[in-house]
Amino acid sequence: MKKYIIKRILIFIPVLFMISIGAFLIVNLAPGNPVDMYVSPDMTVEQIQATKEALGLNDPLIVQYAKWVTNIMRGNLGFSFSSRIPVSTILSQRVGPTLLLMSISLVVAYALAIPLGILSAKKQNSIVDYVVTGLSFTGISLPSFFLGLGLIYVFAVQLKWLPTGGTKLLGVDGGIADKLRHLILPVIVLATQFAANMIRYARSSMIDVYNENYMRTAVAKGLKPMQILKDHGVRNALIPIITVIGADIPKIVGGAIVTEQIFQWPGIGSLMVASINSRDYPVLMAITMISAVAVLVANILVDIMYAVVDPRIKFS
């Protein structure tokens, strides 16, 4: 296992290198010019060229990329074109809210989805199964922006129970209770999406397990249903569930772009949208690379969990 993990980590280097090249080309070749966002109408051509020179945009792409890689290897993410603040400082301000929102959303989603998926599989083709699968397909079909705006209209505008967005009331330090009130609506939106997807996988996986011979043997031995479920059912159904969790983990870092925009949540997702609009290349590259690292790390963790839950899986 150790050799396998070391090998995977070493593979990270060329993979990240190729991702960085692709991302750098896409970001820099996209229509628009960062300087156009920051110059005033009365600036002269010389001043505009001086601004480009200061930002390093007059250099060939290969030179710009080489400078960027050199700075990254030194731990320097560069400066934001729009604010001239270090990118690391901007990210440090945005990571916390995104981690809070996404972590709570995933925990709530899995706490609901996995038991509902197991229940739906156990009562296959019953009313309970139809209701659970119906809710799952509804959650998948609902666009996040539609659900988010609908919740804002009902609970914030009409009933006035919850705030429309943000992390706290302006000018008021409401503490944990106030932050929780601001979390409710975005968590509902994100948890609905994650749970709807997880229910399908949990149900399908448990149906396959219930049809296995060892499950019938456990029933024939007279074991209690909960014991059968715990000792023989859930563990053997975990592989697909772990796969889905591994795909969701990187989203904790990357954030939810649409949901953060709707609820004015100051996280990584809304920062990415703002950076795209302002052509802030250093911030976009930093977010892209952090997301890439999160995906690669999640893949390793998933492989390790495969071996933990299923002793038949061996890595060499």
Spatial neighbors of 136 by CB under 8 A, at least 6 apart, are 195, 196, 199, 200, 203
Q: Under a CB-based contact definition with an 8 Å cutoff, are residues 246 and 302 in contact?
A: yes
User: Looking at the domain assignment, is residue 78 inside a domain?
Assistant: no
Cα separation, 190 vs 270, whole angstroms: 15
Mean pLDDT of 292-301: 89
My answer on whether 35 and 159 are in the same domain is: no
Q: Per mean pLDDT, which range of 49-58, 268-277, 282-291 is the poorest?
A: 49-58
Position 87 in a domain: no
Amino acid 171: pLDDT: 63
In the prediction, which pLDDT does 172 show?
66
Report d(CA 271, CA 35) in Å as an integer.
Answer: 19
Domain check: are 195 and 298 in the same one? yes
Q: Residue range 230-247: average pLDDT?
A: 83
Q: Is residue 166 part of a domain?
A: yes
* 255: pLDDT strictly greater than 70: no
User: Helix, strand or coil for residue 44?
Assistant: coil
Is there a single domain that holds both residue 213 and residue 120? yes
Mean pLDDT of the 251-279 span: 86
Same domain, 69 and 96: no
| CA–CA dist 95, 252 (Å, integer) | 9
Same domain, 65 and 118: no
Asked if 40 and 149 sit in the same domain, the reply is: no
Same domain, 235 and 118: yes
| CA–CA dist 88, 217 (Å, integer) | 57
Final residue of a structural domain among 73, 100, 127: 73
Residue 68 located in a structural domain: yes
Q: What is the mean pLDDT of residues 212-225?
A: 82
pLDDT digits (tens, 9 = 90+) for 119-136: 999 898 899 999 999 999
Is residue 37 situated within a structural domain? yes
- What is the reported pTM? 0.86
Name the residue with higher pLDDT: 43 or 145.
145
Where in the sequence is the domain holding 124, given as residue range(s)?
Answer: 92-309
Residue 300 in domain: yes
Q: Is residue 85 helix, strand or coil? A: coil
The CATH number assigned to the domain holding 198 equals 1.10.3720.10
The Cα–Cα gap between 27 and 23 comes to 6
Answer yes or no: do 96 and 48 share one domain: no
- Assigned domain for 149 exists: yes
Q: What is the pLDDT of residue 174?
A: 64
pLDDT band at 157, cuts 50/70/90? very high
Domain shared by 140 and 227, yes or no:
yes
298 in Cβ contact with 246 (< 8 Å): yes
Residue at token pair 């989203």: 251
- Contact at 8 Å (CB) between 191 and 105? yes
The distance from CA 30 to its chain's CA centroid, rounded to whole angstroms, is 24
Q: Verify that 33 and 175 share a domain, yes or no.
A: no
* 132 in Cβ contact with 120 (< 8 Å): yes
| Residue 256 placed within a domain | yes
pLDDT of residue 150: 93
What the block records as the tokens of 255 is 């954030």
The pLDDT confidence band at residue 66, using thresholds 50, 70 and 90, is: very high
Write the CB contacts of 33 (distance below 8 Å, at least 6 apart in sequence): 57, 279
Rounded to the nearest integer, the mean pLDDT of the chain is: 87
103: tokens are 């972590």
What pLDDT does residue 7 have?
85
If one counts the domains in the chain, the total is 2
Structure tokens at 99: 């981690």
100 plus 233 within the same structural domain: yes
Please say which residue of 73, 103, 121 terminates a domain: 73
Do 96 and 20 share a domain, yes or no?
Answer: no
Question: Which residues, at least 6 apart from 133, have a Cβ–Cβ distance to it below 8 Å?
Answer: 120, 199, 200, 203
